[in-house]
């Protein structure tokens, strides 16, 4: 039996602000539909990913900003750092660990993300 993770809910306070932020990060807006009163569904996918995020109104009961340690993987952490910084995303310095190299950022609500190069730099 295959089990594929395809959609993760991200709790946000301002849907338009979150959509603009994730577009700046580089995610593609797949859907933005208002289903009915109090229900708006936005789905966004990082380039090359089979898994998307979703946020909106009436989508989740999680508190905005409570999502921690979402992780995406890139081939080149230095390039990712340069591109995210150039797009106006506040990322920290590259963190080299024995199991990979990372940069971290948070969305406007404080949901935290890790960007990982699985092979540490210099190996």
Q: Is residue 2 part of a domain?
A: no
Residue 33: CB partners within 8 Å, gap ≥ 6? Answer: 40, 41
Note down the domain range covering 29: 7-117
pLDDT of residue 2: 94
Q: Is residue 123 part of a domain?
A: no
pLDDT in tens, the chain (123 residues): 999 999 999 999 999 999 999 999 999 999 999 988 889 999 999 999 999 999 999 999 999 999 999 999 999 999 999 999 999 999 999 999 999 999 999 999 999 999 999 998 876
Nearest Cα to 104, choosing from 117, 115, 89?
Answer: 115
pLDDT of residue 40: 96
Q: Is residue 77 part of a domain?
A: yes
| CATH at residue 28 | 3.10.180.10
- Pairwise CA distance, residues 92 & 39, whole Å: 35
Q: Is residue 1 part of a domain?
A: no
pLDDT of residue 81: 98
- Direct distance between the N- and C-terminal alpha carbons of the chain, in angstroms, rounded to an integer: 36
Q: Is residue 100 part of a domain?
A: yes
pLDDT of residue 122: 74
- Residue 120 to residues 22, 95, 112: CA-CA distances in angstroms? 26, 9, 21
Write down the pTM of the prediction.
Answer: 0.93
Q: Is residue 122 part of a domain?
A: no
Number of domains in the chain: 1
């Amino acid at each position: 039996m295959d089990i594929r993770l395809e959609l993760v809910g991200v709790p946000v306070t301002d849907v338009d602000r979150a959509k603009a932020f994730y577009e700046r990060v580089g995610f593609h807006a797949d859907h933005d539909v208002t289903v009915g009163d109090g229900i708006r569904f936005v789905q966004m996918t990082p380039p090359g990913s089979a898994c998307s995020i979703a946020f909106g109104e009436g989508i989740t009961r999680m508190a905005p900003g409570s999502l921690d340690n979402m992780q995406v993987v890139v081939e080149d952490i230095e390039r990712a750092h340069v591109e995210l910084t150039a797009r106006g995303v506040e990322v920290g310095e590259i963190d080299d660990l024995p199991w990979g190299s990372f940069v971290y950022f948070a969305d406007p609500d404080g949901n935290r993300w890790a960007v990982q190069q699985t092979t540490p730099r210099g190996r």
